[in-house]
Amino acid sequence: MSSYDKTLMSLTHTLIHVARSYKGAADALTADFELSHASAWPLLMISRLGDRVRPSQVADAVGIEPPSLVRIIDQLVAAGLVLRQDDASDRRARILALTPEGTQMAARLEKALIPFRRELFKDMPQADVEAAVRVLIKLDQVLAERSAP
């Protein structure tokens, strides 16, 4: 195995491990907000994607299948954080929007995530972080192209 192949193997293995570790650490942070870790991420994604987003977009952003999101959205609606409405442009589709309480909760979560992320990356030069982002975005694009019909 070449040195480059060993590096790629290490990178792909590390991606899986780091993603799991990051999610676990970030999930622990959400416990302070009286949200389950499963419901915090869809709430944040609705906020980041903008109101009037389709559930399939939120599921994709969170990395889960749309049917898995239904129960979570039900919980967020019951908690008064999310509104689920018919899409006027397509009566078969639903759209999601944050309530004022949901907007406030998402803002509080985002505010808590800033120092959390800064602490994680404090010993890494910004240029290295930016390079990692470029590599991961490109990898995401390549994988999306491979899975496209």
- Domain residue ranges in the chain: 23-112
Nearest CA-CA partner of 71 in 63, 59, 61, 60: 59
- Does the pLDDT at position 30 exceed 90? no
pLDDT of residue 8: 94
23-112: CATH, from 1.10.10.10, 3.40.640.10, 3.40.50.720, 1.10.760.10: 1.10.10.10
- Does the pLDDT at position 48 exceed 90? yes
Sign of CA dihedral 129, 130, 131, 135: positive
Determine the residue type at 62.
V
In this structure, what is the dihedral angle of CA atoms 104, 42, 17, 126, given to the nearest 10 degrees? Answer: -50
- Does the pLDDT at position 33 exceed 90? no
Q: Average pLDDT of the chain?
A: 92
pLDDT of residue 82: 97
The alpha carbon of 147 is separated from its chain's Cα centroid by a whole number of angstroms, namely: 20
- Does the pLDDT at position 79 exceed 80? yes
- Does the pLDDT at position 91 exceed 80? no
Token pair recorded at residue 41: 């991420």
